[in-house]
């Protein structure tokens, strides 16, 4: 069990988790190639902060998140990963991520993405 990272603050939540929550959070929040120990860890979601709030950005956000989470399947920690997007307010996209772990349990995560 790992110490749970709170996605709202980026700090430890003071509890433990046996889910893929930390792996999903770290893969989405870390800019791709910026971690010295594993240059394949991370996503390109940080690039969307410079993009205008148009419909193609939602498609890019979905693609970037699925690419970032694909190693969870390759590592054998997840069976499948799916992502959808919605607009909550101007300038923000909400990623809705669904991960099925190897035990068959479906875990759902939400991740906000800032767009210009």
**Model pLDDT for residues 31-80, shown as the tens digit of each residue:** 999 989 989 999 999 999 998 888 899 999 999 999 999 999 999 999 99
Which pLDDT belongs to residue 10?
76
- The gap from C-alpha 109 to its chain's centroid, in whole angstroms, comes to 8
User: CATH number of the domain at 2-114, out of 3.40.50.720, 3.40.190.10, 3.10.450.40, 3.50.50.60?
Assistant: 3.10.450.40
Q: Identify the CA nearest to 30 among candidates 43, 48, 11.
A: 43
Q: What is the largest CA-CA distance in the chain?
A: 40
91-115, pLDDT tens digit by residue?
Answer: 899 999 999 999 999 999 999 999 8
Res. 89: pLDDT tops 90: no
């Amino acid at each position: 069990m790992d110490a749970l990272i709170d996605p709202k603050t980026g700090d430890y939540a003071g509890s433990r988790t046996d889910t893929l929550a930390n792996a999903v959070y770290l893969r989405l929040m870390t800019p791709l190639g910026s971690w010295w120990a594993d240059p394949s860890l991370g996503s390109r979601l940080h690039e969307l902060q410079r993009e205008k709030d148009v419909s193609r950005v939602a498609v890019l956000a979905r693609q970037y998140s699925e690419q970032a989470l694909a190693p969870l399947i390759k590592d054998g920690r997840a069976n499948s990963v799916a992502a959808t997007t919605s607009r909550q307010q101007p300038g923000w996209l909400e990623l809705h991520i669904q991960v099925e772990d190897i035990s068959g349990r479906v875990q759902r995560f939400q991740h906000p993405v800032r767009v210009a």
